[in-house]
Amino acid sequence: MKNKYIFGGFIIVIFLSLMVYLFTQSNIQYQDDFSQVMNTTKTVKATGSWVKEKSYDLNRKNKTFTFFMVDDNGNEMKVIYNGTIPNNFESAASVVVTGKYVNGYFHAKDILTKCPSKYEDEQVKTSTM
């Protein structure tokens, strides 16, 4: 009877430590401050908004998509993504890019765009009559 619990506990400890190990290995933190993003070599999920005033660039030859993102404090960075413009990108109010900042660019391996209708209202509220 006792052995059963010791064995079970042993298995659980192994399982949990394996999980914690892999969790720390695959952990990606959200970061909404781009000055922090630029200072780390780790993969992060940078959240901010797409700078519509600046150009975006779709390079067919190298198959890259480049655009600028800005955080709440006004820090800007250039994002390069190996691929094409994601669905919904043009209307995106908020963008989450996963990747790392190397050599002056944020190299994104994933782009998530959020374009909820609620944001539309907020955007309009700032405008004049």
Partner 1 sequence: MIGTIFLVIALAFSIMALVMYYLSFRGYKNTLNYARISYHGMVMLIIAASTMLWYTLLTHQYQFKYVFSYSNNSLDTGFLLASFWGGQEGSFMLWLLLTSIIGIILQSYTSKRKDLEPQVMIVFTLTTAFLLVMVSPWFKNPFEYIWATPMFLDLKSINTLYLELPFLQSFFFTDNNSGAGFIQMNAELHGLLAGSGISVNQFIVDGRGLNPQLLNFWMQIHPPILFTGFAMSTVPFAFALSALIKNNYKDWVKQAFPWLLAGMGILGLGVMLGGYWAYEMLGWGGYWAWDPVENSSLIPWIIGVAAIHTMLVQRKTQSKGGIGKFAKTNLILCILTYILVLYSSFLTRSGVLGDASVHSFVDPGNIVYFFLLLFMGTFLIMGFGAIAYRWKSLIDDTRIEEGLLSRELALFTAAVVLIASAVIILVGTSAPIFGQSVDTFFYDEMHIPLAIIIGLLNGLSLLIKWKNTKGEDLLKKSLPFLGVTFVITFLIVIFGGIDRIIIVLLTLSTVFVLVVNSEVAFKIVKGNKKMLGAYVAHIGIALFILGVIGSSVYSQQVDVNLVKNETKTAFGYEMTFTGWTPIDNNTKYSFNIDIKKGNSEYLVKPVMYVSDFNNSLMRIPAILNLLTQDLYISPNGYDEGKKSTSNSGETISLQKGSSTNFDGSTITFEKFNLGEGTMTAMQEGIDFQMGAILVIKKDGEVEKTELLRKQINGNIEFTSYSSKEFDLRIDLVNLSASNIEISISKISEVKADQHSEAQEILYVSASIKPFISFVWIGVAVMVFGFFIALARRLPESMSKSK
The footprint of partner 1 (CB under 8 A) covers 15, 18-19, 22-23, 25-30, 43, 45, 47, 52-61, 63, 83-85, 87-91, 94, 96, 112, 114-121, 123-124, 126-129
Burial of 101 per CB tally in 10 Å (0-12, 13-18, 19+)? buried
Measuring CA to CA, how many Å separate 36 from each of 46, 75, 103?
Answer: 10, 10, 15
What's CA 1's distance to the chain center, in Å? 50
7 vs 35, beta carbon nearer partner 1:
7
**Shortest distance, position 10 Cβ to partner 1, whole Å:** 13
**Shortest distance, position 38 Cβ to partner 1, whole Å:** 19
Q: How many CB atoms lie within 10 A of CB 82?
A: 12
43 vs 75, beta carbon nearer partner 1:
43
Tokens of 73: 């404090």
**Shortest distance, position 90 Cβ to partner 1, whole Å:** 5
45 vs 75, beta carbon nearer partner 1:
45
Count the residues in the chain.
Answer: 129
Cα dihedral 61→63→68→69 (10° resolution) = 180
**Shortest distance, position 122 Cβ to partner 1, whole Å:** 9
21 vs 102, beta carbon nearer partner 1:
21
